[in-house]
Amino acid sequence: MDAFSYLSVLLSIILGLAITQLLQGLGRIIQARNRIEMFWPPIVWAALFILVIVQTWWSLFGLRTRENWSFFPFLVVVLQTINLYLTTALILPEIPAGIRVDLRKHYFAEARWFFSLTIVAVALSLGKDLVLNGSLPAFANTVIQLIFVGAALSAIVFQRPWYHKLLALVCLALFGLYIALLFTRLSSD
């Protein structure tokens, strides 16, 4: 077994737990739909972060050719996946039996933390490239990630529901474009 095959097991577990967090949350909402005050932006963010996690796992394949691993670069990669897990924990609420849950109230109670961790996620993604490659990712990749930072900062500042509805849809479309431009094929180089 090569080093990355060994190291990637931990990364895969953390990313799998993050997806599990989101899928369980969506399942809880479906099951408790009669006790949910619906607000759809968290559902969009859950779908978007499922894509973010899958794209992260997809892009980690590029690290398989790295032969000389040391602890600090691996720690940065692990921190990126841990941050994604923590971010996903804020998107959808726990739904206690018999209790009505207001998704809008939950969303805005967690929004500042969620968007702050989203900024940290981008910083860790860019930092990973700096640590592993000594440079930022390609220009388009860096620019799109910085747009996500701007979007997250704006979400922290503007707490209007209409703005968060629009932002969720714009970010979903932007992330789709990001994948289409940069990550549609798994490189076998």
Q: Are 126 and 145 in contact (CB under 8 A)?
A: yes
User: 103-133 vs 71-91: helix axis angle to the nearest 10?
Assistant: 170
Q: Are 100 and 35 in contact (CB under 8 A)?
A: yes
Look at strands 36-37 and 101-102 and give their pairing: parallel
Best CA proximity match to 63, nearest among 118, 123, 12: 12
Per-residue pLDDT of the chain (189 residues; tens, 9 = 90+): 778 888 899 999 999 999 999 999 999 999 999 999 999 999 999 999 999 999 999 888 888 888 888 999 999 999 999 999 999 999 999 998 889 999 999 999 999 999 999 999 999 999 999 999 999 988 999 999 999 999 999 999 999 999 999 999 999 999 999 998 888 776 544
Q: Which two three-digit tokens encode residue 51?
A: 């894509």
- Look at residue 161 in the predicted model and tell me its pLDDT: 97
